[in-house]
């Protein structure tokens, strides 16, 4: 084989390798790239006692009513230790889905069973620091309750059973968050759509959703500016 023919075969291969090495790092998110799922620390999921007696609180009972006939079918004789239901993905800023967007700190967390004990949900007391969006009576310095489906149930045998929605985490007591909230029939009670934990120098999505990953480790100032710009120009 002549020298010219060897060069004709080798040079295209070299150019291809060089081109692949020159692809910007950001383009690794294109087709074929899939982020590793984030591990959820289930130890901060609130716990409900299966053996607890039925509540006498009329408001609590009414809120638990909608969790009746749950698809989870909480059962002490269930074989598995966890039950997971896959939920649909959300945009990074679900501003259209949320009736309220707030910044707040979690002061308390509890889990409750539905009235028929087939479902479980967690309730978080949020101290409101800033109201970014809401047409109602939310005010800075007030507190609201934010609910999320799921939690841990402790059965009389001592066994703990986890119920969670796929890719959804629970906020932690003491944590500071931006919450996207859905209104309920009660003024100071909301459903958590999603959220972001605001740390001293970085932001972390509450849920492991593809669109939210772009804000992982963003600075709080930049994150909040982008969110407020989005709300100003929907």
**Quick check: is 147 in a domain?**
yes
**Quick check: is 206 in a domain?**
yes
Measured CA distances, 37 to 17, 44, 139, 141, 203 (Å): 30, 18, 36, 36, 18
**Quick check: is 35 in a domain?**
no
Which domain CATH number covers 130? 2.40.50.120
**Quick check: is 79 in a domain?**
yes
Residue 121 has φ and ψ, to the nearest 5°, of -145, 155
- Rounded average pLDDT over 74-99: 83
**Quick check: is 3 in a domain?**
no
**Count of domains for the chain:** 1
pLDDT tens-digit map of 11-51 = 444 434 344 344 333 333 443 445 566 778 888 899 999 99
Q: How many residues does the chain have?
A: 234
**Quick check: is 97 in a domain?**
yes
- Rounded average pLDDT over 52-70: 87
**Quick check: is 21 in a domain?**
no
Higher pLDDT, 6 or 197: 197
Whole-number percent of the chain with pLDDT over 90 = 59
Is the CA virtual torsion 82, 88, 92, 94 positive or negative?
negative
**Quick check: is 14 in a domain?**
no
- Rounded average pLDDT over 120-137: 94
Q: Looking at residue 6, what is its pLDDT?
A: 41
162 lies in which domain range? Answer: 43-232
């Amino acid at each position: 084989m002549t020298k010219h023919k060897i060069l004709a075969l080798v040079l295209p291969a070299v150019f291809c390798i060089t081109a692949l090495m020159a692809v910007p790092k950001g383009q690794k998110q294109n087709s074929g790239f899939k982020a590793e799922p984030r591990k959820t620390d289930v130890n901060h999921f609130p716990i409900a006692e299966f053996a607890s007696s039925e509540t006498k609180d009329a408001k609590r009972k009414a809120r638990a009513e909608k969790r009746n006939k749950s698809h989870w079918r909480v059962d002490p004789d269930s074989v598995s230790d966890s039950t997971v239901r896959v939920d649909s993905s959300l945009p990074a800023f679900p501003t259209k889905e949320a009736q309220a967007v707030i910044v707040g700190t979690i002061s308390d967390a509890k889990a409750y069973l539905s009235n028929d004990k087939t479902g479980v949900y967690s309730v978080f007391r949020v101290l409101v620091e800033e109201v970014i969006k809401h047409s109602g009576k939310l005010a800075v310095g007030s507190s609201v309750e934010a609910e999320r489906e799921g939690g841990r149930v402790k059965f009389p045998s001592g066994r703990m059973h986890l119920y969670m929605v796929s890719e959804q985490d629970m906020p932690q007591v003491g944590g500071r968050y931006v919450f996207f909230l859905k209104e309920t029939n009660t003024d100071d009670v909301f459903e958590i759509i999603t959220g972001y934990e605001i740390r001293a120098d970085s932001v972390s999505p509450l849920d492991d959703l593809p669109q939210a990953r772009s804000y992982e480790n963003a600075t709080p100032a930049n994150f909040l500016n982008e969110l407020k710009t989005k709300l100003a120009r929907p």
